Amino acid sequence: MIKKILVIHGPNLNLLGEREPGVYGNMTIDTLNDNIIERAKEQGMQCEIFQSNHEGAIIDKLHAARTSFDGVILNAGAYTHYSYAIRDAIAAIKIPVIEVHISNVFARDAFRANSVISEVCRGTICGFGAISYYLAVQALAEL
Ligand code: DQA
């Protein structure tokens, strides 16, 4: 049963709310995080949230998560499309990792349609704005 979850926001997601609002919406990362924590609580789960603009820091956090969390929600930002190192880190740990994206990555630049992490993730949710994260919380609660 999943009790403790970790949310990882990758590069540039610290600027949510001011970054390309037409694509990513107006909600700040602080409000988004409050909402995610609230929804996790409703599902009886504890939630920690981490944001980094650095590939190695995201990899370190995934490694650390394997012994202290039951599941991970990961928005790897642009690393999604080319980081084999993050892919390998996900493959190396046994807890489920759900890939999320705020935008519909299939309806944008061609390079965004390819994810090098999808194959090693438990599932992928994209295109629903902040709701992508909330759906991932629900998925982990029901796994
Ligand atoms: C994103 C989509 C990526 O292509 C982009 O590089 C991001 C955010 C999303 O949440 O829609 O930084 O992961």
| Contact of 100 with 140, CB cutoff 8 Å | no
Report d(CA 51, CA 44) in Å as an integer.
Answer: 23
Report which protein residue has its CA nearest ligand 1's atom 6. 78
Kindly report, residue by residue over 98-116, the tens digit of the pLDDT.
Answer: 999 999 999 999 999 999 9
pLDDT bucket at 121, cuts 50 / 70 / 90:
very high
Kindly report, residue by residue over 25-81, the tens digit of the pLDDT.
Answer: 999 999 999 999 999 999 999 999 999 999 999 999 999 999 999 999 999 999 999
H helices present in 1-143, as ranges: 21-24, 29-42, 55-68, 84-92, 131-142
Residue 101, ligand 1, Cβ within 6 A: yes
Residues linked to residue 8 through DSSP beta bridges, in sequence order: 50, 74
Q: Is the pTM of this model over 0.85?
A: yes
97: nearest Cα among 118, 78, 72, 116? 72
Is 24 a catalytic site residue?
yes
Is 81 a catalytic site residue?
no
Residue 115, ligand 1, Cβ within 6 A: no
